[in-house]
Amino acid sequence: MQLFRGVLASRMAVRGITDYDEGLGTFLHDCDQLCMADGLTFAQSVQYRARVKAAKLGTVDNRGARRVDAGEIEAAASAYRQVRTSGGSAAAGSSDTSGGYAP
């Protein structure tokens, strides 16, 4: 945070800007111009870099929107135990040959 504050203050001083909002706007505009060489906006560039760094650090929640609650896990485990103890079929006389496993 101190680095950003120092960079922003230095850029404002070089350009003779004393208004924070104007300085921040100018800084972000300059960042956008710099990133346009890569075909991205500054925001897109920051998001991309954050994803790459988070992946390297293992801090990305890549499970997506699929969330499984404890009740669902217990129901699946119970169904699995039933299949295992009944010899491979979830229901007696069932024509299902998948062994009780749904894709």
Q: Model confidence over 50-86: pLDDT tens digits?
A: 888 888 887 766 566 556 677 778 888 888 888 888 7
What is the C-alpha separation between 30 and 12, in angstroms, rounded?
A: 12
- Cα 90 vs. chain centroid, distance in angstroms? 37
Where is pLDDT greater, at 100 or 44? Answer: 44
Q: Give pLDDT, residue 78.
A: 85
Contact by Cβ (8 Å): 27, 11: yes
Query: pLDDT tens, 9-65?
Result: 999 999 999 999 999 999 999 889 888 888 888 989 888 888 888 888 877 665 665
Check the CA dihedral 29-32-36-38 and report its sign: positive
Distance CA 89, CA 94 (A): 7
All structural domains of the chain with their residue ranges: 2-57
